[in-house]
Amino acid sequence: MIHTITSRANIRIKLAISLQKPSSCRKRHRFLMEGPKFVSDHLTRNGSVDFIAVSQEASDETLLLARMADNSGHSVIQIPAEIFSCISNTGTPQGIVAICPIPDHSVSDLFTGKTVLILDKVADPGNAGTAVRSAAAFGCSGVVFLKGSAFPWSPKVTRSAAGLNSSIPICEVNDLAAIRKLFPNYLILGAESTGSQMDDLLQTINQPVCLVTGSEAHGLSEVSATALDGKISIPMAAGVESLNAGVSASILLSGLFRKSS
């Protein structure tokens, strides 16, 4: 049964509002999944949900999704639009959010013999989310966020990742050296304009790859650069210096995926 809540003092409303901040997400081990498409996909994947909040002014289609979730046994609350706007992280609220537990994964869950993506100080949530989405699309077994990168389950990362940060294993690690020691069977390649051309290098690879991409502004950190086995670059037209982290990761992961298929 969908319950109506009208007070901002309600404990679930206060929780949902607090999850705009990464510090609160970490403390409560919860994150927001916003929008009917992302919430529907999350439920279809049998993703875990604490409760769902739907605006009283949501569209008929969104209200139908809320009723379906309620009929499936999920806890659903309906709230006034003005309160929902305090929860929403978008300029135009989409009328529904799911409050979800942050998935628990250890680093060993990610390194299963398939490609792993590592984000090295990729602080922009849009780029980080795009990279996560591409990692899921191109068959990666996980994504590692090194220290200094965006929070993997912030609302903006979740939106850019199309909610797929709830399905592909993700973990946070301090530095690349620890991964190198734990998984010596992986070839660690850094995305770098001075690296070997992607098409040439892919022909020589015969072991699982750990792809490391840095920020557009600073590239790979000095600490990570010392832990690489090699560097890989994308062929580009003259006069173009670089691509952002999300686009770069997407192109390289696509190449690795084609090689493994």
Q: CB burial class (10 A; 0-12, 13-18, 19+) of residue 200?
A: exposed
Q: At what angle do helices 245-260 and 125-137 cross, to 10 degrees?
A: 10
**What are the tens digits of pLDDT across the range 234-254?**
988 887 777 889 999 999 999
Between strands 187-197 and 209-214, the pairing is parallel
- The pLDDT value given to residue 244: 87
Sheet with 76-79, edge to edge strand ranges: 3-4, 76-79, 51-55, 96-101, 30-34
Tokens representing residue 210 in the block: 């750990």
Predicted TM-score (pTM) of the model is 0.93
Instruction: Say how far apart CA 95 and CA 87 lie, in whole Å.
Output: 10
DSSP letters along the chain, please?
-PEE---TTSHHHHHHHHTTSHHHHHHHTEEEEESHHHHHHHHHTT---SEEEEETT--HHHHHHHHHHHHTT--EEEE-HHHHHHH--SSS--SEEEEEEPPP--HHHH-SSS-EEEEES---HHHHHHHHHHHHHTT-SEEEEETTSPPTTSHHHHHHTTTGGGTS-EEEES-HHHHHHH-TTSEEEEEEEEEEEHHHHHTT--S-EEEEEEBTTTBS-HHHHTT-SEEEE----TT-----HHHHHHHHHHHHHHHH-
Break the chain into its structural domains and give their ranges. Answer: 3-101, 107-260
CATH superfamily, domain at 3-101: Ribosomal protein L30/S12 (3.30.1330.30)
Give the pLDDT band (50/70/90) at residue 202: confident
**What are the tens digits of pLDDT across the range 136-154?**
999 999 999 999 999 999 9
- What number does CATH give the domain 107-260? 3.40.1280.10
User: How does the average pLDDT of the chain come out, rounded?
Assistant: 94
> Taking 90 as the threshold, does the pLDDT of residue 17 lie above it?
yes
On the question of a common fold for 3-101 and 107-260, the answer reads no
Mean pLDDT to the nearest integer, 33-40: 96
**What are the tens digits of pLDDT across the range 69-113?**
999 999 999 999 999 999 998 888 899 999 999 999 999 999 999
